[in-house]
Structure 1
Amino acid sequence: MPVVRTWRRGAPEPDPGWEFEVRARRSTRTAIVVAVVIALAFTAGGLVLRTGSTGVNFRVADQVAMILIGVVGACAVLMLTRPRVRAGSRGVAVRNILGEHVYPWDYIRGASFPDGKSWARLELADDDYVPMLAIRANDKAHAADAIERVRGLGAHYAPQS
């Protein structure tokens, strides 16, 4: 029987402790497009900075700085592509824009998608919750399937009380 690979070429193989992984779709594509536009706009601005007579003396260092500002801005926008949710026997790992936290099943009360909210959340035992930016409302059916998978794995792995 052939091995079916479900990860991107060049990416590390998925960790066997995780049965499910989800990322946002629409917001990821939008962030990539916006990052490219920012990088191109600042590069074009940096290249034409010395042309014309504005009364200001721009140097090559100013052009390079303008391009680098565009690259930094594009990288900042690309940070919005990081959110991911993984679930499996270990619990649920939520990676939002900065950092990743793993929550064991015995600490999780449930996963919900509150009305009017842009993303799902993981409800914890101490009446706290964690936003799951990878499961976004604008992904519609993809988001509904993802939250049901997280709930299903919770029903399977959570300790019975």
Structure 2
Amino acid sequence: MSQGSAQPSSAGKGSRPAARRNPYALIRPRRGRVVAYVAAVVVFATFLLGAIIVPGQEGQKDDWAISDRLLIAAIGAAIAWFLWRLGSIRATPSKQGLVVRNLLLTRTLAWDEIVRMQFGGGAPWASLDLADTDTVAVMALQKADGEYGRAEAARLAALIQHHGDATEPQRRS
């Protein structure tokens, strides 16, 4: 009689039953995203404030010119962009394939290109082994996220197994 009851997933508090979870839901890290976004705002505001309040009365030695102020603001904007990009890493699965957005590059992969996923050893995030012997990091699946990260990695591994038919590349001797 208890066969028909759905058991909640052990992926964490408030998670939906595994059978009802969308397997194509967006994959994002939990902890690093919030920290990166908050740091981006704080860094940009600090550099912008610094560019505004540095001394610069005309006619004094060692004045901060407008170009100096603009450079300070630009450096703050560049650091904030980098942190914002760090916060926006993700993996987007679909029925056609997987879009992996890492820190600097975004890569679109068809399911049949992916041989397997690795989420072990000393690496801080998952990686995908491809049929052409290339390896793609998936920074959205991080070990620092603990049980949540492992559950998301299991979901991606199931999608790879379901959709993929890539075979292990043959090594040349």
Q: TM-score, normalised by structure 1?
A: 0.75
C-alpha distance after superposition, 1:49-95 (max 9, x if no partner):
1169x941223443343223212221122121232112232122212
Q: Assess if the C-alpha contact under 8 Å between 2:131 and 2:166 holds in 1.
A: no
Give 1:159's aligned residue.
165
Q: Assess if the C-alpha contact under 8 Å between 1:93 and 1:101 holds in 2.
A: yes
Q: Assess if the C-alpha contact under 8 Å between 1:88 and 1:153 holds in 2.
A: no
Change (3 A) 1:104 1:61: closer
- State the percentage of identical aligned residues: 27
Of 108, 129, 132, the match for 1:123: 129
Q: Distance in 1 between matches of 2:65 and 2:109?
A: 52
Give 1:8's aligned residue.
none
What amino acid is aligned across from residue 140 of structure 1 in structure 2? G
Unmatched segments (≥5 aa) in structure 2? 1-22, 168-173
Q: Distance in 2 between matches of 1:50 and 1:22?
A: 46
Unmatched segments (≥5 aa) in structure 1? 1-17
Cα shift at 1:122: 1.0
Q: What SS does structure 2 have at the residue aligned with 1:57?
A: coil
Matches within 5 A, 1:144-155: 144-155=150-161
Give 1:143's aligned residue.
149
Q: What SS does structure 2 have at the residue aligned with 1:33?
A: helix
What amino acid is aligned across from residue 161 of structure 2 in structure 1? A
Q: What SS does structure 2 have at the residue aligned with 1:110?
A: strand
Q: Assess if the C-alpha contact under 8 Å between 2:51 and 2:70 holds in 1.
A: yes
C-alpha distance after superposition, 1:17-41 (max 9, x if no partner):
x823211221111211221221122
Structure showing greater radius of gyration is 2
How many residue pairs match? The answer is: 143
Matches within 5 A, 1:2-151: 19-50=24-55, 55-151=61-157
Q: What SS does structure 2 have at the residue aligned with 1:21?
A: coil
Greater alpha carbon shift after TM alignment, 98-107 vs 135-144: 98-107
Cα shift at 1:155: 2.2
